[in-house]
Amino acid sequence: MPSEAATLPPGHAALARAGVTCLERGWLSANNILIRGDGPSALVDSGYATHAGQTVALVGASLGAQPLDLLLNTHLHSDHCGGNAALQDTYPALQTLIPPGQAQAVARWDADALSYEATGQLCPRFAFQSILSPGTSIRLGSWDWDIHAAKGHDPHSIVLFQPRHRLLISADALWENGFGVVFPELEGVAAFDEVADTLSLIEELDPATVIPGHGAVFEDVGAALARARSRLEQFVANPDKHRRHALKVLLKFKLLEWQTVSLEAMHAWARNTWYFRNAMPSACQADPAQSREWLLSLLSELERSQALVIHGDRIENR
């Protein structure tokens, strides 16, 4: 009979031993990581708001009659916590834990401070009961997981590491082929050094298996770190390259939500979304005709990379 390791995809044998199931999602939603064992059942990250029904269904199918005890968010970008409210409605006794940096913004529900207005993204209001303090550990399933600060992509993000199984939940600090947009840099706050520090932290932790915020579970961590550092070096050398990349990511993300939209509607959205207004050349801010051409140049680059299709005045996801 084949061994468990032979019948599971790379990395998934380690997940099984730790009681972890990775519900890999499309790029509009972050991966949902379900952890079970003889301690509290837990879900790490809940996906985007428009996928909340799918998240609830996937979690329910995995848990069956078992309740969900804990919901953790690695950080509070909309694709990681947009399903929180739906899960809280489904599991009334659910305890939600978030990183400490934006706890007050969640308590008073400040959509500007939480970036949802600035990115033009959706996130239904949710509550929380406790915080995830870096430097401490938390019991999830049968094992204790260490909480580490992971600044860079988001100044308040954390990652979770299970030392016995050398298993890392890396959120958007490390993917198999890169890392998430460095949002503080778009706000004029230097954060590339913090990305480098977080990559060094991951190297020091020496995980054998990584569950990223997006994409498949992977084991060749050294190669992933090398690719991430190479990408970071390019952005440090040319911050405008990072800025343009970030804007295209935000456009693609919104198109994943809409699927199809008129150029005029997307232009109106961009002019009313802070990250785009802030990034536009001053002439574009004053002149809608110029900002339309500037937006079209970004969309044309996305079309050339086969991320979307432009049909006249219509933009379609691809």
Lowest-pLDDT choice from 9-13, 81-85, 207-211, 297-301: 9-13
CATH 3.60.15.10 matches 4-237? yes
Q: What percent of the chain has pLDDT over 70?
A: 97
Q: Which two tokens stand for residue 204?
A: 């020091």
At residue 282, does pLDDT exceed 50? yes
CA angle 93, 98, 104 (to 5 degrees): 105
- Residue limits of CATH 1.10.10.10 in the chain: 240-317
Q: Are 126 and 108 in contact (CB under 8 A)?
A: no
Residue 235 class from Cβ within 10 Å (0-12 exposed, 13-18 middle, 19+ buried)? buried
CA angle 6, 223, 132 (to 5 degrees): 85
pLDDT in tens, 261-274: 999 999 999 999 99
Kindly report the average pLDDT of the chain as a whole number: 95
Q: pLDDT value at position 10?
A: 61
Q: Give residue for tokens 């990183």.
A: 99
Q: Which two tokens stand for residue 196?
A: 């480098």
pLDDT grade, residue 14 (50/70/90)? confident
| CATH class as words, domain 240-317 | mainly alpha
Q: pLDDT value at position 6?
A: 43
Q: What is residue 120's DSSP assignment?
A: T
Tell me how far apart the terminal alpha carbons of the chain are, to the nearest angstrom: 42
Helices and strands: H and E segment counts in the chain: 15, 14
- Residue limits of CATH 3.60.15.10 in the chain: 4-237
Q: pLDDT value at position 8?
A: 54
Cα 267 from Cα 264, distance rounded (Å): 5
* Nearest residue to 35 via CA among 70, 4, 8, 65: 70
Q: pLDDT value at position 29?
A: 97
